Chains A and B, each alone.
Chain A
């Protein structure tokens, strides 16, 4: 392994979505030589998919909004499992981060008085999402991308080269972090090892500070709205470097994503389709939701189709159709129907609005849905049912970090955005993701730069580690056709996760999943890729599989351990939320090749933040002992 290209940087940012680009901007503004490593082309990151907006308490549309209200909404959404400090920083700093984007050239939609317009979104008390139509994520990524170019232009004027202090390595994948002995004890980051997708050449980045901003894990699931890049790279890199993952059992699924045809698989079908009269039926043609109304909801939900249908025109004298039950109930029902063999071949049920409303009304009420499916799949939702099922959307869990500095457990390692954990607790509110990227991306870049300031010497990756990483990266090519087929393994992994660790979980299924993952782990170790090193997707997938597998194992283990239902984790055998479990974070680490799971207490919410909530609400979440403490805190205010 003599010919490995080497680069030296002060800060290396892995990932070029919102969080990565914002981190890189901050590190460069702090004067650091910074590299951005992007798995795809510059500007294609999954951030472009975000539609709704970026939540920030700007108070432009309702001046009652403030960081405190935003904080409260975020904690409620996460069912109080959030790292409170992250939620606090996020709510406080999001407005600055949004305004800053305007100085980079972003053009948000406006209010009549010319300020940034904000829209309502589920879980947010006030209109709070700064947006640009339904392409806010694209605006965010393009703005940051263009800000990076403008910094490069400054460097060109000053140093004669665009890439003097900030360089984007497009289509480059990192497969391993490199460590070195830390004079302060333990090990610290020394660099990152990877390959150029285009040429297949190997490359080493020597850097004391590394920011992970690699996004999520959705590609381990059969049905997902995530892009191919979402293979949990950052999660796995952190684990293998000695970092820890928190909250990995919490994944956000949407109950109705398209499962067929393949061209739109994973794309979300908005809930308003059901609100506007859409009904769910199984392959026997039965409108099955009537069988799934839980007792507590009997009073509000109709038990005959006749009554349900009258509700649309006369909601005051009829009960609601059961299709409008909360998301988890709908998901549970779909899940049960499919598992009972009454689902479609693709693993979904039918959602039909075509027989219910005139075509013209559907087109008027659901214009973007209509056009999306017409254009992408030639599915005419005014004429035929949609085939829907749960789709994997976002992972709340991620690298365990210090709230203020975004620093992970390994010295020199930082994480921001979807790859980090804690901020969203057990469930993320819509719109909080884009602002999360900006707030913690900036912090990660800032603290990574600061970390390098305090270093005496630059750590050097050991030659042996580089050799080992190179060998591991090239191993699938060496095995060639004799190895396991990566596409086949990927499909099997997606089936295990989709069928057994999906939206609704049970002990027996989770145990079976773990057994099958163990089997897959052995086979992934023998994966082979045919062809050469030049832009070979089979080889790339073979390398990604290892990451997907270890992250999937973390999710399955944590899901088995947490015996309650909360936010993005629903256990059919433990349907209730348990205050005892609210005090516990499940933390994963690697012990050799095995995932180790530990219970850790949550950080205690300080009194001044607790006072933002009222007692009746807290009673749902806290244990008796905690409630007594809460009363004491609340009492202090009154006395």
Chain B
């Protein structure tokens, strides 16, 4: 609050330049606004001021305004953020702040997107299986054991990880087979639950959730407002175990000599849908919504660095960079230059 001191309502106020994407599935554009910004405000405060003073029908989700509900997810200068956790003091005074909706989900209106993808995937996630032999009140678990799962239960379902994950960001075609980081930590949480009665969470994640698509670029971890170590603590441990079993010589032999149906009954695992192979290729032609005038090249997901065996290294130790390649391209730094920002709603098809 600097020299003006706290509480000097209005005294630390300046006019700032905002660009907000306005529109609906039919199309839209970035609208310019000059808006009053006070010291100590966050982007969501400014959106609210726009609603109250200039754009009463500007659509934006929010609930708690304290970083606890995960409703006000948006992209601020191209970075996926919670509006209530993005302080105006992180921008310089002359900087234009550009706010666009989450790009991975179909736009409903303005900053509101249709996030039903995430709920649909959650619906397919096998629920907690209570132990058959314990009555309510008889559950006994050690703190150290519940803590591993508790980390993942901090998730506020803001879906920023889902939005950032380049497997589905700009890759509509992957959405069917891929559940995304939010659901991977749910799988890991149940896998690590001391009393969950199911033993096949990892295989499930691999076979039905598309865990194999993930090439551990850690973008999800980077945008998580709860600082959950999605990649290190959930995805990598699950991948390692899955790979252990996948390449277990006995399982491998079984695969060679048994038919698929025999295999399923032999291993006790679910009959897997043709499992998604690890996503290493150049992606198919980038999806470009009709009628978009892109002035700069589409940032295509960087291919993951695969090892000599054509597989992804599953730990960072063998990777050539920390956190792997950025889905935005390794040469991109944030915030992006304003003239290069553009937003086009993903197609809802």
Contact = CB atoms under 8 A, between A and B. Distances in A.
A41 B57 contact: no
Nearest to B122: A149
B153 A107 contact: yes
A324 interface: no
B51 A375 contact: no
Interface stretch (B135-143, B246-254, B267-275): B135-143
Contacts of A40: 61, 63, 71
Interface stretch (A259-267, A457-465, A626-634): A259-267
Interface residues of A, number: 80
Contacts of A485: 56
Interface in B104-144: 108-110, 112, 114-115, 119, 122-123, 125-128, 130, 136-137, 139-143
Interface in B34-66: 38-42, 44-45, 51-53, 56-66
Given A49-B66, A107-B149, A537 B9 contact: no
B146 A107 contact: yes
B193 A537 contact: no
Interface stretch (B83-91, B206-214, B298-306): B83-91
Contacts of A108: 146
Contacts of B56: 485-487, 529-531, 537-538
Contacts, number: 201
A102 B110 contact: no
A114 B140 contact: yes
Given A95-B137, A345-B10, A263 B45 contact: yes
B154 interface: yes
A18 to B, nearest CB: 14
A535 B6 contact: no
B7 A348 contact: yes
Q: Which of A229, A262, A487 is packed against the most chain B CB atoms within 10 Å?
A: A262
Contact of A378 (B8, B38, B53, B89): B89
A376 B157 CA distance: 19
Residue of B6, B62, B119, B137 with most partner-chain A CB within 10 A: B6
B224 to A, nearest CB: 14
Given A40-B71, A105-B127, A350 B7 contact: yes
B7 A135 contact: no
A295 B151 CA distance: 50
Interface in A292-323: none
A379 B45 contact: no
Contacts of A359: none
B264 interface: no
B285 interface: no
B24 interface: yes
Nearest to B136: A99
B237 interface: no
A113 interface: yes
B126 A153 contact: yes
Contacts of A272: none
Contacts of A385: 6
17 contacts: A48-B69, A99-B136, A105-B130, A105-B196, A132-B150, A132-B153, A138-B68, A262-B38, A262-B45, A264-B40, A264-B66, A376-B84, A385-B6, A386-B6, A531-B56, A531-B57, A534-B109
Given A228-B63, A486-B56, A529-B56, 18 more contacts: A44-B63, A49-B66, A100-B136, A105-B190, A107-B141, A107-B150, A107-B153, A132-B150, A146-B127, A198-B114, A261-B6, A262-B41, A387-B6, A487-B52, A487-B56, A532-B57, A535-B110, A538-B51
Interface of A: 40-44, 46, 48-49, 95-96, 99-100, 102-105, 107-110, 112-115, 117, 132-133, 135, 138-139, 142, 146-147, 149-150, 152-153, 162, 170, 198, 227-229, 259-264, 267, 283, 344-346, 348, 350, 375-379, 384-387, 485-488, 491, 529-532, 534-539
